[in-house]
Amino acid sequence: IDPETARRIAGTATSWTRILTHPETGCRLSMGRVTHDPPADMRRYLQARDQTCQGIGCNRRASLSEIDHTRAWNTGGPTDVDNLVHLCKSCHRLKHQSSFTTSQGPGGALTWTTPSGKTYTSAPTNTDPASYDPTSNDPASYDNRPANPIDPAPAPSPVRPSASVPRLGVDDPPPF
């Protein structure tokens, strides 16, 4: 629009709503605190980014999972792609009904902290927002690089026959 029209609209507006969009695709990346539920283009973006549940070791498809606010919306968490992640029902329940905690890093990487303080990080399959086209429903159009977990779960330790009581150590797999 021309500058004169922009000034007229801005001068008569009673309020402003900030909405962050991707500069190339126009996909909404942040709705701030305006709404709890992400709009359809943001849901498609998150599904293209995550592709699977972001629980440690979980590989349930994102299309069968729920979108969760890492920092709860009712405690001030915004509805934006840096605070939203796909979790299947089981992992969603684990997050909210146990002593596990989560924090989300850049690009959607989700770090789980166990009640004993150990951390495990899962990274989404696609972290390049420029590869997402909100008008396409073709998964082949997404950036399909293989996932590179930031902190993969360690392999289980071999069990010694003489050990009568198993001990949890650094080399144990996550308890979920």
Percent of the chain with pLDDT over 90: 40
DSSP assignment of 142-172 equals: S--PPP--SBPPPPPPPPPTT-SS----TTS
**Rounded distance, CA 134 to CA 136, Å?**
6
Share the mean pLDDT of the chain. Answer: 76
Residue-wise pLDDT for 90-136, tens only, equals: 999 999 999 999 999 878 899 999 999 999 999 887 766 555 444 44
> pLDDT by residue (tens digit) across 128-165?
655 544 444 443 333 333 334 444 444 444 444 444 44
Rounded Cα distance between 42 and 132, Å, is 11
Give the sign of the dihedral formed by CA 61, CA 137, CA 122, CA 34. Answer: negative
**Predicted pLDDT at 126:** 77
What number is the average pLDDT over the span 169-173?
Answer: 52
Greater confidence (9 vs 174) lies with: 9
Say which range, 39-53, 81-95, 155-169, has the weakest mean pLDDT.
155-169
pLDDT bracket for residue 171 (50, 70, 90): low
Residue in 90, 106, 86 with CA at minimum distance from that of residue 98: 90
Read off the pTM: 0.62
Residue with tokens 């009581």: 165
Task: Say how far apart CA 55 and CA 115 lie, in whole Å.
Answer: 16
Quick one: how far is CA 158 from the chain centroid?
A: 33
